[in-house]
Amino acid sequence: MIPALLTLWFALMVRTQTQAPGIPVEQEPKHRVVLKNDFVRMIDATLPPGYVTLHHAHDVDNVSVTIASDRGRPGRASFAKGGYSHTVTNAGPEVMRFIVVEVGKSDHPGSPPVQLQNHTLETENNRTRIYRVKLAPGESLQAHRHDSGWVEVFVTGGAGPGATVWHEGGSSVSLSAGKDMLEVVEIEPK
């Protein structure tokens, strides 16, 4: 009886250890790489109603920004340590959309955080800083800059929900809300 239980236990252990961790995230059909450079890789994950993703792996530290979901408010930005895999199900009646920014390296390591008008530092850790910028209709933000390169993810207004732009460290950027509110999540690799 004991040898049979040991054999079963060993077989289960081998099966668990050899189970595939998931395909690379860029091979998941509804995850599309929209920009890649030496500092970040941006993935647009757009899941139609009823869609179940393939089991996929996120090997790199990343920030996920919710663009559309019945699970969380648009603009929610969260950091995740790389090295996990998962499956995501869109059980709701609407499209789910996330912009995933994989954090590589900084173009100016050791740069201090910025203290800029209309910027709120929401998260800072050893890999990234996440800022939120909100402008009321008609409001604008004159040219501003970060010492390190950063990504803008538009939540509302501007270039449209889910639009992304990479800016090199030291470059100047202006933002304007126009007739609608503007909300942008800025992600700065450290």
- Which pLDDT score, from 0 to 100, does residue 20 have? 61
What is the distance between the alpha carbons of residues 168 and 145, in angstroms, rounded to a whole number?
A: 9
Condensed to tens digits (0 to 9), the pLDDT of residues 99-112 reads: 999 999 999 999 99
The larger pLDDT score, comparing residue 172 to residue 17, is at 172
In whole angstroms, give the CA distance from residue 136 to residue 179. Answer: 9
pLDDT digits (tens, 9 = 90+) for 64-77: 999 999 877 899 99
**Is 7 or 42 the better-scoring residue by pLDDT?**
42
Domains of the chain: 21-189 (2.60.120.10)
Q: How far is Cα 152 from Cα 133, in angstroms, rounded to an integer?
A: 10
The mean per-residue pLDDT over the stretch 20-32 comes to 93
- Residue 5: is its pLDDT beyond 80? no
Judged on CB neighbours under 10 Å (0-12, 13-18, 19+), 76 is middle
pLDDT at 19 over 70: no
List the structure tokens of 177.
């809300």
Q: State the pLDDT confidence band at 142, using cuts at 50, 70 and 90.
A: confident
Share of the chain above pLDDT 90, in %: 84
Contacts for 23 with CB less than 8 Å, ≥ 6 apart? 54, 55, 56, 57
> What are the structure tokens assigned to 169, written together?
């460290």
Higher pLDDT, residue 160 or 142: 160
pLDDT digits (tens, 9 = 90+) for 157-188: 999 999 999 999 999 999 999 999 999 999 99
Assess whether pLDDT exceeds 60 at residue 60: yes
Residue with tokens 């663009």: 67
pLDDT, averaged across the chain: 89
Q: Which amino acid is at 112?
A: P
pLDDT confidence of 16, banded at 50, 70, 90?
very low
**Per-residue model confidence as pLDDT tens digits over 77-86:** 999 999 999 9
